[in-house]
């Protein structure tokens, strides 16, 4: 005998699931009266920049700040999109664009931050003139950051590249000439400092260099960093007009933050955002 109550119950459950699903689409939205900022960092200089130069400004406005650390580039962005954290600081806008496409999320940059450039380093050679045939070069294996490394090698005259390379699709196939027959070893960006003793040269992102006590001033060549590669504070697009975002931006723009950066020798060689006076 059929139980007539089953169908209404199933209908109610289905409606509840649909409503619940719709609610999740705005899970990253933050109320303006929420005075807690949950922010994450990856290894590198951005945590200290924030804690010493921006956090005091925000705390004076009544905010409580909760910190989290990640070691990869996917989890912190997904966490922001889900509303588990409010912002992260570790990446440039082109990398964020690639993760947005990959994970089908919608994060944006709120403000640029002082960024250490990628550099070409060596433990075995004291000069770029010591390049030899078959030398091993360590590069980041992420397309966007591989393009940055390849551009450094192009600047020093070791390779030539195709025109108009898509940063999100960069590969070693974009090299058009390699007269020194360089041997490329592409690894996770964070592995660059570890690979350095075993290769002739390594192109290392600035944050990983700093995190491993490699001074930017020891690079044999630093990249000519342009705005798309300057790091940002990433937020969910749903929060672009939120008060906490406006206050974070004000904190980075503050004279206190600029004075902290300019007076600290460890930030020598950093690319400074255009709002710095």
Fold of 119-224: D-Maltodextrin-Binding Protein; domain 2 (3.40.190)
CB-neighbour burial class of residue 185 (10 A; exposed 0-12, middle 13-18, buried 19+): middle
Q: Would you state the pLDDT for residue 8?
A: 45
Question: Where in the chain are all domains bearing CATH 3.40.190.10?
Answer: 36-115+228-267, 119-224
Q: Would you state the pLDDT for residue 27?
A: 57
Confidence at 226, pLDDT banded by 50, 70, 90: confident
pLDDT digits (tens, 9 = 90+) for 255-267: 999 999 999 999 9
Q: Does the pTM of the predicted model rise above 0.75?
A: yes
Kindly state the average pLDDT of the residues 42-54: 94
CA neighbours closer than 13 Å in the CB half-sphere of residue 3:
5
The yes-or-no verdict on residue 2 having pLDDT over 90 is: no
Q: Determine the Cα–Cα distance for residues 202 and 120; give it in Å rounded to an integer.
A: 6
Contact (CB, 8 A) for 94 and 228:
yes
Which of 3.20.20.540, 3.40.190.10, 3.30.70.2170, 1.10.1740.10 is the CATH number of 36-115+228-267?
3.40.190.10
Least confident of 29-33, 49-53, 100-104, 163-167: 29-33
Kindly state the average pLDDT of the residues 76-97: 96
């Amino acid at each position: 005998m059929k139980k007539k109550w089953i169908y209404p119950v199933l209908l109610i459950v289905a409606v509840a699931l649909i409503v619940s699903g719709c609610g999740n689409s705005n899970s990253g939205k933050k109320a303006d009266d929420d005075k807690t900022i949950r922010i994450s960092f990856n290894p590198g200089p951005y945590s200290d920049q924030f804690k010493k130069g921006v956090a005091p400004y925000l705390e004076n406005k009544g905010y409580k700040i909760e910190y989290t650390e990640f070691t990869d580039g996917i989890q912190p962005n997904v966490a922001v999109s889900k509303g588990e954290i409010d912002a992260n600081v570790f990446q440039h806008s082109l990398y964020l664009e690639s993760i947005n496409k990959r994970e089908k999320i919608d994060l944006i940059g709120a403000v640029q931050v002082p960024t250490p450039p990628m550099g070409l380093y060596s433990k075995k050679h004291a000069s770029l003139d010591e390049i030899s045939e078959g030398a091993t070069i360590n590069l980041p294996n992420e397309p966007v950051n591989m393009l940055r490394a390849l551009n450094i090698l192009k600047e020093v005259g070791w390779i030539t590249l195709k025109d108009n390379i898509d940063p999100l699709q960069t590969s070693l196939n974009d090299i058009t000439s390699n007269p020194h027959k360089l041997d490329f070893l592409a690894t996770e960006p964070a592995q660059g400092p570890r690979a350095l003793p075993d290769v002739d040269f390594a192109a290392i992102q600035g944050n990983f260099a700093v995190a491993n006590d490699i001074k930017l001033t020891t690079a044999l060549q630093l990249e000519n960093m342009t705005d798309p590669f300057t790091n940002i504070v990433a937020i969910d697009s749903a929060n672009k007009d939120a008060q906490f975002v406006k206050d974070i931006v004000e904190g980075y723009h503050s004279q206190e933050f600029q004075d902290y950066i300019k007076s600290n020798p460890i930030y020598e060689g950093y690319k400074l955002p255009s709002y710095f006076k």
